[in-house]
Amino acid sequence: MGRPAVTLSEAERRLLDEYQRGLPLDPRPFARVAERLGISERQVLDRLQRLQDIGVVSRVGPVFRPNRVGVSTLAALAVPPDSLAQVADVVSAFAEVNHNYEREHDYNLWFVVTARDAVQLEQVLETIAARTGLEPLNLPMLEDYYIDLGFRLQWT
């Protein structure tokens, strides 16, 4: 059973559609967004918080090309299926973990770790291993590919 349906305001829909990328590079980016949407900066911030609170948005922040600011790696864990949700919660609790997702494979929990340097990245992977009892598979990037994950949403 999925989440209950959520009703979004026109401003929330526009936030989701128009600002998946291209947030203004400005000391007050949300004030610039507010001007474009015809609402106040406080209303933009409140709406973004609401979208996070109800699980529509998981994160608001910049995305940097890998290894341009700090270091990052793709990692995976082979998690017993009955422990997947619990282990995913442990992994997600790390500020250095951007996201995680389930895959159909022996290594069934995949995640990206970003850290200030290689030493911190290794410490995070070691701590994840200690807390989960599972050894992360570390898959550092060998070649850079860009995939734009922004897309127009279909509102029915």
Structural domains in the chain, sorted by start: 10-53 (no CATH), 71-139 (3.30.70.3460)
Enter the DSSP assignment of 105.
Answer: S
DSSP bridge pairs for 28? none
Q: 29-67 pLDDT, tens per residue? A: 999 999 999 999 999 999 999 998 888 887 787 666 666
pLDDT band at 68 (very low <50, low <70, confident <90, very high): low
The torsion angles phi and psi of 137, rounded to 5 degrees, stand at -85, 120
pLDDT at 70: 79
Mean pLDDT, the chain, whole residue set: 87
> Where do the DSSP E strands lie in the chain?
71-77, 97-102, 109-115, 137-139
The three-point CA angle 2-84-16 to 5° equals: 45
pTM (whole model) above 0.85: no
Residue 156 has pLDDT above 70, yes or no: no
Residue holding tokens 């990328």?
A: 21
pLDDT at 23: 84
